[in-house]
Amino acid sequence: MTPDPTGVPTAGGGPSPQTPSAGGSLSSAELEAIARANGLRRVGHRPPLGEYLRDLWSRRQFLWTLSTAQAYAKTQESRLGQVWAVLNPVMLAGAYFLIFGLLLDTRGGTQNFVGFLTAGIFTFVFLSTVMSQGARAVTGSMQLVRSLSFPRVLLPISKVTTELIAAVPTFAVLLVIMLATGERPDAEWLLFPVALLLIASMSLGIGMVFARLVHDSRDAANLIPLVIRLLRYVSGVFYSVDHYLGAAGAPHWLVLVMTYQPVAVMMTLVRESLLGETAVDPVTWLAGLFWAVVLPLGGLIWFWRGEGTYGRG
């Protein structure tokens, strides 16, 4: 088999050789055909979804290395380092207990309010961090995006992985607080790691959506804190949704929406797995599984559809 002057095989069923245009040079179309025949593709190309996922899987070692490096870098930003990953949610829980537990008395519908509150706070801190970091996943890594070729969805995935690694001490402290407030380990505690995986999956879906939104419109970044603040107040972070909506005589449809929206479900999954007063409800876990599949799948497709645009402009 002898290659022609363009380097394209001419025997054995390979691509047909390109005939130079008049003047002895190849046209743009001919050059593009040669590139395609040799497995090259244009910059900004969006591959089919299946190929995209295979490429992502082949970069899993890069994903892990990037995530662990980011997690380590977070601990180097201050003297106390990783200690702040524990201190921040603990101090926030203390402030919320003072405001909502003592001053506003939102303890209705709960027996172990400290455990109820810390479970909500620690979970929401993880979620809000993933949302904030995920929103900047692409725009905050433009040099990397413009320098290297890889599936860009790896960036928001790395943010979730980074926050999971960084949150391990935080959730360990949550277990200690549960024990200190009178909770005792039982079989339902085995659901806690499952709850964290579902929460990470749901958070990833939201992060992918935010990442593309902020890339396409930088102004959207200014709305993310507002969205996070709104979710904090409507998701039962520091009060029982069922108790207060029921006491207010809210319509049944509103109770269902508030109870089973994704962020509220995240709070409930953790509470049902760790708090003895909150029985495990199969409906809640089915809702969690639903959101843990639908959100990342929808987020992936939405993000992938913008693959050819990242890094431009």
Q: Write out the residue range of the structural domain in which residue 124 sits.
A: 51-306
Q: Give per-residue pLDDT as tens, 56-67.
A: 999 999 999 989
Q: What is the spatial distance between Cα 72 and Cα 56, in angstroms, rounded to a whole number? A: 23
Written as one string, the DSSP assignment of 193-233 is HHHHHHHHHHHHHHHHHHHHHHHH-GGGGGTHHHHHHHHHH
**What's the one-letter identity of residue 122?**
F
Across residues 214-223, what is the average pLDDT? 91
Across residues 157-179, what is the average pLDDT? 92
- 5 pLDDT tier (thresholds 50, 70, 90): very low
Phi, psi of 9 (to 5 degrees): -60, 145
| Torsion sign (Cα): 282, 269, 188, 184 | negative
Within 13 Å and on the Cβ side, how many CA atoms surround 280? Answer: 14
**SS3 label, residue 281:** coil
Query: Angle, to 10 degrees, between the axis of helix 154-180 and the axis of helix 262-274?
Result: 40
Q: What's the confidence (pLDDT) of residue 127?
A: 92
277 vs 195, residue with greater confidence: 195
Phi, psi of 258 (to 5 degrees): -70, -35
Q: Residue 293: inside a domain, yes or no?
A: yes
Q: Give per-residue pLDDT as tens, 268-289.
A: 999 999 998 888 999 999 999 9
Q: Residue 145: inside a domain, yes or no?
A: yes
Q: Give per-residue pLDDT as tens, 89-127.
A: 788 888 888 887 777 777 777 888 899 999 999 999 999
Among 261, 294, 52, which residue's Cα sits nearest to residue 149? 52
Q: Residue 111: inside a domain, yes or no?
A: yes
Q: What's the structural domain count of the chain?
A: 1
Q: What is the spatial distance between Cα 142 and Cα 215, in angstroms, rounded to a whole number? A: 10
Task: Indicate the Cα dihedral angle 207, 213, 218, 221, nearest 10°.
Answer: -40
Q: Residue 286: inside a domain, yes or no?
A: yes
C-beta separation of 119 from 170 below 8 A: no
Q: Residue 151: inside a domain, yes or no?
A: yes
Q: Which residue has the tokens 């801190």?
A: 125
Q: Residue 79: inside a domain, yes or no?
A: yes
**What's the one-letter identity of residue 128?**
S
C-beta separation of 166 from 67 below 8 A: no
Q: What is the spatial distance between Cα 268 and Cα 274, in angstroms, rounded to a whole number? A: 10
Q: Residue 129: inside a domain, yes or no?
A: yes
Q: Residue 15: inside a domain, yes or no?
A: no
Q: What's the confidence (pLDDT) of residue 6?
A: 47
Neighbours of 48 (CB within 10 A): 9
Q: What's the confidence (pLDDT) of residue 12?
A: 47
CA angle (141 as vertex; 136, 145 as ends), nearest 5 = 125
pTM: 0.80
**SS3 label, residue 150:** coil
